[in-house]
Amino acid sequence: MSTHLDAKAPLVLDTRELPRSPGAMRELRRTVPAPADLGVELIGVPAGSELTLELRLQSVSEGVLVSGTATVSLEGECGRCLRPIVTTKAVYLSELFAYPDSTTAETTDEDEVSRIEGDLINFEPTLRDTVVLALPTNPVCREDCPGLCSECGVHWDDLPDDHSHEAVDPRWAALGKIKASEE
């Protein structure tokens, strides 16, 4: 399945200046807008926010090994107390992109290994997979976040230390009414 990649697209990497001899290397630093839908339910990368790529493209016998880091801005909400979370995260990436005429390309299924299309690499699927898998499914605003009171829904941090809810067994509730009427 060949698609036509735009060499000027922010997440398309051009390998024309990288010699095909194993060991040849090129470093790349690029700040690009983040693609849409890069996240999980409670936290993700805002679409269009700055995403910094610091990559090393290295020729190997079967293709180009792309490794490095992506630094992303994250926005979401705490899974315990629902307070907003705004932070950054650096994620390590490493992916082999096979040359069209390599043994790897011939001996693997289409979806088993990433491919170089002409001289271009579509880096978005690798970025998306790596970033989304690195995100917490239940993010917290801080490690010791106590969450919300299950009875009244107020943040535990905002409640006094002696906060409690008197739980009266409904079978004894009538006795409480009798006591209150005697007072």
**Domain residues of the chain, as ranges?**
12-134
Identify which of 32, 24, 16 has the alpha carbon closest to the alpha carbon of residue 65.
24
pLDDT digits (tens, 9 = 90+) for 55-103: 999 999 889 999 999 999 999 999 999 999 999 999 999 999 988 877 7
pLDDT digits (tens, 9 = 90+) for 161-183: 888 777 777 777 777 777 667 76
Q: What is the pTM of this model?
A: 0.78
The answer to whether the CB of 95 falls within 8 A of the CB of 126 is yes
